[in-house]
Amino acid sequence: MTRQPGWASCPNCQGLHFAGHDFKGACPAGGQHSQEGTFGYEIDFDVPAEENVQHGWASCPNCKGLHFAEFKGTCPAGGQHSTEGSFAYALRFNVPPLPGSQPEWNACPKCQSLFFGPFRGKCPADGETHSGENSFNYVVPHSSRLQFRLRGFRENQSTDDFLQGGSDEIFISATGLDSSSVRVGPDGKPVVNLITAQPVGDVSEDSVRGPWGANPHALVEFDLLQQGDFPRTYTTTLFVVEQDNGDLQQDFQELHQQVGGKMKAAVVGVAAGVGAGIGAAVGSAVPGIGTAVGGALGALAGAGYDGLISVIDEGLQDEIFTPIPITLTVDSPWRIRTQPDVDSLKAQKVREHDADYDIVYDWHVV
């Protein structure tokens, strides 16, 4: 079985269509399909026979829609649907939906297309709404979470000398920020919500980092279903602490509090600068600031944190490294799996306090 990403629902016709090409397919409501407000759906193909799985589905190259190919149906581009070049798709039906899947999809007996049942959309067979008469209740999977995962750690050079044991005790934590989590507060000003990751370590020990090759450690997890517009940025700001004689809990508490405060201030400043929140409903996502948020957090890297880290470090007995923001920009939810940095192994170099480390990571969609 193989799962194909890049599928989207059209708000105009409510049909499921493949959006991974420049041509989005003919929509029965007119023009091409739209991807506004859609999840990033994924459809299985080459599925073995099993209970509650229906084979015989195909994508039409003319309308890009998913349709039941045993009956050709009506294509909004004219004539009947075509199966030319299509995979052999299959859908699950009449089963409880798992997290990351959506029920209530129906097959229209008039055009044979799959559509979202609660909203009837428009059928190309007669120009009226789709019909769900005698349809199964299909369940369609979609992406729901984005993970920043630790895949490895390389200690190229230690901060400790031979008399101290020659190997650092390194712990990692992080703060996550999804640009769509910037919301309008009761006073009409932007409010920033951060994700706090639990510390993990000692990452220089093989017993900790060794399993990450086969079982990556999800350090930060973002909710892809959160309401908000695109493009959207997801930023993981890494905190690295080398433990000597200090209190790790206090170290990370200070980092999350102080650095988190600076991150919030930077984001609020950018949002306010573009007039974010003016006239918007309280609690709604602030529109149009996705890439600006990523840029604001990226600008804090390096020297932007120097003064703050020196204050945090004062009185602590551990080595506190400069926070490292890593941002992923996503153009749209249905394209997230095709982003160049998704499921691509990356290494973040850390050179400070006479140490030289590589933090190996990836972004992963589930």
Res 165: pLDDT = 46
Nearest C-alpha neighbor of 238 from the set 173, 318, 294: 173
Note the pLDDT tens digit of each residue in 170-207: 999 999 999 999 998 888 888 999 999 999 999 999 99
Note the pLDDT tens digit of each residue in 258-292: 999 999 999 998 887 765 555 667 888 888 889 99
Q: Which helix (H) or strand (E) holds 155?
A: strand 145-157
- Rounded Cα distance between 233 and 98, Å, is 27
Query: What pTM does this model have?
Result: 0.86
* Cα 243 to the center of its chain, rounded Å: 32
Q: What are phi and psi of 233, to 5 degrees?
A: -115, 145
* pLDDT band at residue 337 using 50, 70 and 90 as cut-offs: confident
With beta carbons less than 8 A apart as the criterion, state whether 5 and 45 touch: no
The tokens of 182 are what? 């910037």
Checking if the pLDDT of 162 tops 50, the result is no
Res 263: pLDDT = 96
Give the number of other Cβ atoms within 10 Å of residue 172's Cβ.
Answer: 25
Please enumerate in sequence order all residues whose Cβ is within 8 A of that of 321, keeping only pairs 6 or more positions apart, or say none.
239, 240, 241, 242, 309, 350, 352, 353
